[in-house]
Amino acid sequence: MAIFENYPLIAAFSAIILSQLVKIPVAALLKRPTSMALVTSTGGMPSSHSAGVTALITSLIFEYGGQSPFVAIAFTFGVIVMFDSMGVRRQSGEHGILINSLIADFKELKDTFTHYNQKELGAGQEEKQSRGYLGHKPIEVFFGILSGILIAVVVRQFY
Which tens digit of pLDDT belongs to each residue from 102-128?
887 777 777 777 655 555 555 545 555
Average pLDDT over residues 4-27: 94
Tell me what the mean pLDDT of segment 16-36 comes to. Answer: 89
Question: Whole-number mean pLDDT of the chain?
Answer: 84
- Which position has the higher pLDDT, 8 or 131? 8
- Separation CA 116–CA 120 (nearest Å): 7
Q: Which residues contact 53 (CB under 8 A, 6 or more apart)?
A: 12, 74, 77, 78, 81, 82, 148
Residue-wise pLDDT for 29-77, tens only, equals: 988 878 887 788 777 889 999 999 999 999 999 999 999 999 999 999 9
- The domain segmentation of the chain, as residue ranges, is 1-87+136-159, 88-120+129-134
pLDDT at 106: 78
Q: What per-residue confidence (pLDDT) applies to 89? A: 62
Taking the CA atoms of residue 30, residue 34, residue 36 and residue 40 in that order, the dihedral angle to the nearest 10 degrees is: -60
> Which are the contacts of 94, defined by CB distance < 8 A and separation ≥ 6?
133
Q: What ranges make up the beta strands (E) of the chain?
A: none
Separation of alpha carbons 131 and 44, rounded Å: 13
Report the C-alpha gap between 74 and 64 in whole angstroms: 12
Q: What was the pLDDT predicted at 116? A: 55
Burial class (CB in 10 A: 0-12, 13-18, 19+), 147: buried
pLDDT at 98 over 60: yes
